[in-house]
Amino acid sequence: MKYFGTDGFRGEANVTLNVEHAYKVGRFLGNYFQKEDHKVRVVIGKDTRLSGYMFETALASGLTASGADVYELHVTTTPSVSYLVRKENFDCGIMISASHNPYFDNGIKVINGKGHKLEPEIEEQIEKYIDGESEEIPMAKREAIGRCFDYTKGRDEYIEYLKDLVKEPFDGKTVALDLANGSASMIAKEIFESMGAQVIARHDEPNGTNINRECGSTHIEVLQALVYDTGADIGFAYDGDADRCLAVDDDGKVIDYSLLHMFEGYGSLVMTAEEFFEKYGYEPSKCNVARCVEEISKKERRTVVVKTDHSAVIADLKYIYFCADYVINN
């Protein structure tokens, strides 16, 4: 495809990705999901990049011009957008981020109603609309014009959801965090402190241009040094939009998540999220994946591993584990 890649439409802000592109993406999506007697609802989040403000405004303008209502999370994480799309039955979600790229890049990642990456065939239709190769989309008129709502409470709901997943407190533990001056700055410290941990946070002062700059998951050596110097029990480093997390142990060694493959050789149930939902009859939009996996683990009396695009949820008979950067095809 011309614009969309493996993780949305990315490019340097105002060079290969501009507000006209964003406006047209909004116009298309606001119209695409229109149905009779249905008001389209789209939730938008962004990371801390300077250009995020203009792309947020452009997307919202296009969406409302097509008749959709827009719910703005403002600075938040990509996983929070996926979670809220499913939980609140939004037609789709949009995350404005270029992940681990430098601040001058940005991106538009569209998330479908199931919380997954938008289908390629729809992305192709968006590209045709951007290039003027499809019919013009009518403007919404009068009371059909959409509105924008502040939806920071949605981010708060996601924080409470994460807190609820914690089974064991971190009392007496010291946790080191490298927040990459990105989205995790708004969430991670609060969550770990609520678990009872003493938190040592670095790179938690985003200014629009320092996201991922010599910090975060692409510079794991910074976290390793922090853990070693402070004597922390464990450390976590995030990328710009916090959909990637690397961990180091108390010796500063990177925890190798590829070891998850050992589960596949020990009689565990290992499947993709789609296979899990189909096998056990869960409705994805209504399913708390961690709780559902835990339930099946107890029912089957064995470890269950459910893999998504970039992560895995693992439940044995006692604990639930989460893993980032787990690649399904490995």
Kindly write down the DSSP assignment for every residue of 245-295, as one continuous string. Answer: EEEE-TTSPBP-GGGGGGGGGTT-EEEEHHHHHHHHT--GGG--HHHHHHH
What number of other Cβ atoms are within 10 A of residue 164's Cβ? 11
Going by C-beta distance under 8 Å and a sequence separation of 6 or more, which residues neighbour residue 141?
A: none
| DSSP per-residue string spanning 73-92 | EEE--HHHHHHHHHHTT-SE
| Dist. CA 184–CA 203, nearest whole Å | 10
Sheet holding 234-238, edge to edge: 198-202, 174-178, 234-238, 245-248
Catalytic residue among 51, 80, 99, 268: 99
Q: Is 51 a catalytic residue?
A: no
Which H/E stretch holds residue 93?
strand 92-96
User: Chain-centre distance of CA 230, in angstroms?
Assistant: 30
**Residue type (1 letter), 231:** G
Q: Active-site residues: which are they? A: 99
